[in-house]
Amino acid sequence: MQKYSAVFFFIIAIVISQNVFAQGAAVSGKVVDKILQEELIGANVVLLRLPDSTQVNGTVTDIDGTYRLGNVSQGRYVVRASYLGYLSLSKNISVADADLRDVSFELAEDAKVLQETQVEAIMPRMVVKDDTVQMNADAFKVNPDADASDLVTKMPGVMIQDGKVQAQGEEVKRVLVDGKEFFGDDAMMVLKNLPAEIVDKVQIYDRLSDQAQFTGFNDGNTEKTMNIITRGQIKDGVFGRAYVGYGTDNRYNAGGNLNYFKGTRRISLVGLSNNINIQNFSSEDLVGVASSTNNRPSGNMGPRGGSGGSGSQGGAPGGFGENNVSNFLVPGQGGISLTNGIGLNYVEEWKKVKISSNYFYNRTKNENNSLLDRQYLTEDFEQIYHQDGASLTYNNNHRFSAKIDYDIDDKKSFTFRPRFSFQDNDASTLVNALTTLMNGETLSKSENDNSTISKAYNLSNSILYKHKLGKQGRTYSVRLETGLNNRFSDNYLLANNYYSENIDSLIVQDQWTDGLSKTLTLGGEVNYTEPLGKKSQIQVNYAPNYTKSTSDRFTYQYNEATNDYTIVDLSLSNVFENVNWAHRTGASYRYKAEKLDFNIGMNYQYTSLLSDRTFPTDIDVEKYYNNFLPSAQLGYKFSKSSSVSLFYRTSVRTPNVTQLQDVVDNTNPLILSSGNKDLDQQYSHFVGGRWRFAQAAKGRSAFIFIGGGVNNNYITNSTVLAARDTMIGDIALPAGGQYTRPVNVDGNWNVRSFMNYGTPLLFMKSNLNVMAGFSYNRIPNLVNEVLQFNNTYNFNTGFLLGSNISEKIDFRVGYQANYNIVKYSQRSSSDNNYYTGVANAAVNVLPWKGIVISSDIVYNHYIGLADSYNTNFALWNAGVGYKFLKNRAAELKLQVFDMLGVNNSISRTVTETYVQDSRVDVLGRYFMLQFTYKFNKFNSGNKKEG
């Protein structure tokens, strides 16, 4: 099969290389506002062939309002330009051999649209066209030194929660600047590094995948996207800020950003250095932490308290991206972190080539003291697990990613996405653990010292070739993907273990574990689309995927005779290889009319799973799967402001090498885990629907989502809790110990819903966002070989009120409430309910002559946790500053974090086998004096004054 796959990839390479240098005449020009003569960025320009008006080409205008349509054959055409909120305009042209270089347009604003979208007497807030909502930045008031994140949260339906940008009830996965990527897929990084004053308009829409944008065939892979349109008159220039601060307890914070915009070239440099928990890194940086959570049970976690505060005074921002592991911002580590980081973003565009790239480096030191209490749930007895832990982690991370687009001509193009990351992690942990029965009888305890040195690198590449054929809508595309992931680790464990048979006896574990894991991935996809009329088309596809994973783990016990680790522990050592071949093929049909849009498809997937254990004994496992994967999607527009979409999807999840490798991990001697070579595929169904509403005239928006899924052969956990010394195969589990491994169980399903409503409150010049949701999850699991179901219900609601009064007054008030109900099928006595609530308020005012006063408070309260965790506290931060120098470019500010000295971090985790309450170290009260200097120099003097 590998031979045939090699032939397949060779054929694809031949297809991609054909006709690369084909050329033709070009049509180019500019699109501007008729009155203001300002460039219109992102305007649509299409080329229609006469006499039948068949579309043969199309593009959007650049940041200077220009466009170019290449490889146009001789003949008569119509060029049509359109832009949201403007009247469309067309021009007849005749193309010979020479290029037409000045087919330009002056578009007039659509008076009808303006009348519909007028919210205030002077400034329209919003216009809606198709699935795009566009908001006017000048209609929203922010402080003079605000960034783009401060601006967008003023807009109806937009908010930032837990470090993630949300719009119309969905997480914003990507923020573009003038239609182009900026700092990759990191939404918060873009918003935090763009000053609000350069933002002209904000567009929100569902961005199709690169493949779907090319074919027009919606494959369901959309992501909520925000496009920041900058002010045309200040598109060229240098801007940024620098800051440095020092405070009590040797707290410090320094950093800044420098941005250079020149035509299509954009260069940005960002940096930071602090010890106040501003962390700014992705989960790739946490390789040392992630290595110990491979078999972690799933659970529901309640909101945490102020692990590092909020805002600029010690917060730990968060975010999420395309692959879930590659953002610059994620929820920070618990504890207290020292961070140094630097990043570079480079964007450039030529006639045929566009490049967007970024590089990031950071180094962190994290200290974390934690306390947790865990109650295990069994049919005949209950165990209580208590743990005190202290950890120190050093981590270095390098990351690079880029997107390169090459337009060969108007019919053929390449998109190349390389990505590389390297992590170097050094972690040490001290843990004191105790397991008891409910009556206080000690079952076991452990004191262990664990240190791990690990290095990992990830290299991936994706190439997409797109080709439009002679007939409109007839296309094919080829995608190739490669991935290489290597991880090396050395782990030292020294543990003193005591067990209930003789609590005074001591069992010492002194061992060294050498680990090496590698994963190679090769994949591809071929898609062909054929029109079946003006409103429908069909797509056929074939996608092979090859994954080879190897994992070697050797554990050596300490040999006193040689004073070295030379005794191989066969029970803790394993060499495992897993090869996964998947072939997917199928077809889809799409119909699109003015109001109705639907597609339906069926894929067949053949999967072979070949596992081979070569040490300490030889075992081969071969499994083959045949799956049919149907899908369907329907969209209907009731009106310009209201639409609904329904969808059904199926998928399979093949277990990875970590889940399959049957070697014991004894990092915590009281909590053992391993993989399971007999795991099968998980098959999932998901159905959902969402309704959107955007009333442009009044600036209102609403979103409702309802969905649910069923998972067959659900991959869950089987846990054994030992009340007495027990043998599980070759594994000796002492009393008070726990052993967990993944298994397949049917009976998992879930339902969730979410509602968001945003509206301006004109009587108080503010914007209100209200949200509410419900979720239910039924998780099957095995505890001591007994099947049970963990049923969790979550009800949540909240609101956020933000001011839009003036540039001198800015405030926000909000509240989030979460009520959780947990019910167990086997032990109703263990059912529990708990409530978490978070109230927050912030104000920033400029009363007179450069004075700035700011304050924010977050109140956390808990009901239903363990007695020692039901702690209510208010985290209060405040500051006073003075702006001076020309244009108030400099500011000196005195800040105090946690004014009341009560900061705390508490969370509850509910899984299928236990309920856990935990607390981690947080920053204490400190004062800081910080100096900030903001600078900007634009080529035009027409910039918005602050």
Does the structure show a pLDDT above 90 at 27?
no
What pLDDT does residue 800 have?
87
What pLDDT does residue 235 have?
63
Residues 205-224, mean pLDDT to the nearest whole number: 71
Q: Identify which has the larger pLDDT, 307 or 633.
A: 633
For 339-369, give one letter per residue: b (16+ CB within 10 A) or e.
bbbebbbbbbbeeeebbbbbebbbbbebebb
Does the structure show a pLDDT above 90 at 694?
no
- Measured CA to CA, the distance from residue 333 to residue 279 in angstroms comes to 8
pLDDT, tens only, 341-367: 998 989 898 888 999 898 989 899 999
Report which listed range, 54-63, 126-135, 366-375, is most confident.
366-375
What pLDDT does residue 792 have?
92
What pLDDT does residue 324 have?
28
Report which listed range, 264-273, 540-549, 819-828, 913-922, is most confident.
540-549
- Measured CA to CA, the distance from residue 825 to residue 745 in angstroms comes to 15
What pLDDT does residue 790 have?
87
Which residues, in sequence order, are bridge partners of residue 47?
57, 79
Owner of token pair 């239910």: 776
- SS3 label, residue 918: strand
What pLDDT does residue 285 have?
36
pLDDT, tens only, 484-527: 999 999 999 998 888 765 555 678 889 999 999 999 999 999 99
- Measured CA to CA, the distance from residue 932 to residue 892 in angstroms comes to 7
- SS3 label, residue 810: strand
- Measured CA to CA, the distance from residue 134 to residue 169 in angstroms comes to 16
Residues 746-751, mean pLDDT to the nearest whole number: 94
Does the structure show a pLDDT above 70 at 83?
yes
pLDDT, tens only, 562-598: 999 999 999 899 999 999 999 999 999 999 888 898 9
Confidence of residue 111 (pLDDT cuts 50, 70, 90): low
Find the range with the poorest average confidence among 86-100, 449-463, 870-884. Answer: 86-100
SS3 assignment for 431-448: EEEEEEECCCCEEEEEEE
Confidence of residue 22 (pLDDT cuts 50, 70, 90): very low
What pLDDT does residue 9 have?
44
- Polymer length of the chain: 946
Confidence of residue 10 (pLDDT cuts 50, 70, 90): very low
What pLDDT does residue 421 have?
94
Does the structure show a pLDDT above 50 at 32?
yes
pTM here? Answer: 0.76
Percentage, residues of the chain above pLDDT 70: 83
**Tokens read off for 90:** 């067309």
Which among 480, 608, 612, 623 has a CA at the least distance from the CA of 1?
A: 608
Does the structure show a pLDDT above 80 at 866?
no
pLDDT, tens only, 784-801: 888 889 899 999 999 988
Does the structure show a pLDDT above 50 at 182?
yes
Give whole-number Cα distances, 763 to 233, 769, 804, 809, in Å: 33, 16, 11, 16
Does the structure show a pLDDT above 80 at 188?
no
What pLDDT does residue 215 have?
65
What pLDDT does residue 509 have?
87
Q: What is the mean pLDDT of the chain?
A: 81
Q: List the Cα angle 6/7/12 in 5-degree steps.
A: 100
Phi, psi of 331 (to 5 degrees): -55, 130
What pLDDT does residue 189 have?
73
Q: Identify which has the larger pLDDT, 742 or 942.
A: 742
Which among 826, 834, 741, 751 has a CA at the least distance from the CA of 789?
A: 826
Does the structure show a pLDDT above 60 at 422?
yes
- Residue 932 has, within 13 A of its CA and on its CB side, a CA count of 22
Decide the pairing of beta strands 223-230 and 199-207: antiparallel
Find the range with the poorest average confidence among 226-235, 431-440, 819-828. Answer: 226-235
Percentage, residues of the chain above pLDDT 90: 35
Q: Where are the beta strands (DSSP E) in 283-352?
A: 299-301, 336-349
